[in-house]
């Protein structure tokens, strides 16, 4: 029997602010946005569409934007948190998606981290071509079935499923879920670990505040690539429970023990008060302070692809040109 309401590892309730805290942030934001500079946006690369549309053998990771990636593994085309929307609420998208929906290859699997609109855009999902088997958090399957998606499997934390030699495991995050005023935390939230015998192990963190679960994920998996959020953290007094700061994202990277770090969840929408430039500046300052090698950091442009080949001992090497 599934739980009606879901919680975090460190608290049973939702990560959400009271009305007075939200009102305070709203007033602060009105003042901040007048002086914020969003002119430094994430650039778009020219995607290698011929490769992406025909590749069925080489592992690759392509950033579409925000938390949306095209991951190719063991012949499968996998999309995370599908959002091609041109605006989020009243905010226009800061930069176009790295690959247009019409140019996407047929999708075999869609991994959904949670139900928030900036991670699950139903119109985008409908327009994706292919079989589109959905793997979603516990509690979300019924909602997706009602929307007409028939191939939906829901999973709770640490549950796993295997298709065509690729293992998908749903792992914890510190966050919350809601799509309307009546369904708060009726479905779960989390990240995904993707494993294959002939490709890198990829950890897609979804959306999360910093929490002890990162260390547990690192103990359970030998992660090669960590896709971690670095945006929507300002003001930290309001956002820290549900969104990591750039500094916390790097600590999470160390906690999970990954070989490579790819930042996400920045540069597409104005979800909080931070800008893409601020997030990247703080990320770089903390990378230097922690003495993390530049070779471990991959700041993808929208539409840019990391391509992998496996070395002896299954250590991944990337063909990405830094």
Cβ-contact 110, 85 below 8 angstroms: no
284-310 tens-digit pLDDT: 999 999 999 999 999 999 999 999 976
**What is d(CA 295, CA 305) in angstroms, rounded to the nearest whole number?**
16
What is residue 25's predicted lDDT score, i.e. its pLDDT? 63
Residue 64 three-state SS: strand
pTM: 0.93
52-95 tens-digit pLDDT: 999 999 999 999 999 999 999 999 999 999 999 999 888 899 99
What is residue 314's predicted lDDT score, i.e. its pLDDT? 59
**What is d(CA 250, CA 148) in angstroms, rounded to the nearest whole number?**
39
Q: Tokens at residue 139, please? A: 């509690």
Cβ-contact 15, 174 below 8 angstroms: yes
Does residue 28 carry a pLDDT above 90?
no
Buried residues in 253-281 as b, exposed as e (16+ CB within 10 A): bebbbbbbbbbbbbbbbbbbbbbbbbbbe
Q: Report all structural domains of the chain as residue ranges with CATH numbers, in order of start.
A: 109-300 (3.60.15.10)
120-132 tens-digit pLDDT: 999 999 999 999 9
Q: Characterise 291 by phi-psi region: left (phi > 0), alpha (psi -120 to 50), beta (else).
A: left
Residue-averaged pLDDT of the chain = 91
The one-character DSSP state at 138 is T
Cβ-contact 40, 278 below 8 angstroms: no
């Amino acid at each position: 029997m599934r739980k009606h309401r879901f919680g975090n590892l460190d608290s049973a309730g939702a990560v959400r602010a009271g009305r007075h805290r939200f009102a305070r942030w709203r007033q602060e934001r009105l003042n901040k946005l007048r002086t914020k500079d969003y002119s430094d946006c994430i650039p778009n690369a020219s995607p290698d569409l011929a490769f992406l549309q025909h590749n069925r053998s080489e592992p690759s990771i392509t950033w579409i934007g925000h938390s949306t990636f095209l991951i190719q593994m063991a012949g499968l085309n996998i999309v995370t948190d599908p959002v091609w929307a041109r605006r989020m609420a009243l905010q226009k998208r800061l930069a176009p998606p790295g690959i247009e929906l019409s140019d996407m290859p047929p999708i075999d699997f869609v991994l959904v981290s949670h139900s928030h609109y900036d991670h699950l855009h139903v119109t985008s999902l409908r327009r994706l071509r292919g079989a589109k088997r959905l793997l979603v958090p516990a509690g979300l399957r019924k909602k997706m079935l009602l929307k007409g998606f028939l191939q939906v499997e829901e999973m709770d934390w640490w549950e796993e499923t295997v298709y065509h030699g690729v293992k998908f495991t749903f792992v914890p995050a510190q966050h919350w879920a809601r799509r309307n005023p009546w369904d708060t935390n009726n479905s779960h939230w989390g990240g995904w670990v993707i494993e294959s015998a002939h490709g890198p192990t990829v950890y897609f963190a979804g959306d999360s505040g910093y929490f002890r679960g990162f260390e547990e994920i690192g103990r359970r998996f030998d992660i090669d690539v960590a896709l971690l959020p670095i945006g929507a953290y300002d003001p930290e007094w309001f956002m820290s429970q549900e969104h990591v700061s750039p500094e916390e994202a790097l600590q999470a990277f160390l906690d999970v023990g990954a070989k490579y770090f790819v930042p996400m969840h920045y540069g597409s929408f104005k979800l909080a008060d931070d800008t893409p430039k601020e997030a990247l500046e703080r990320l770089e300052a903390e990378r230097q302070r922690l003495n993390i090698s530049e070779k471990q950091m991959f700041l993808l442009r929208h539409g840019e692809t990391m391509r992998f080949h496996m070395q002896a001992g299954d250590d991944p090497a990337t063909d990405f040109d830094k």
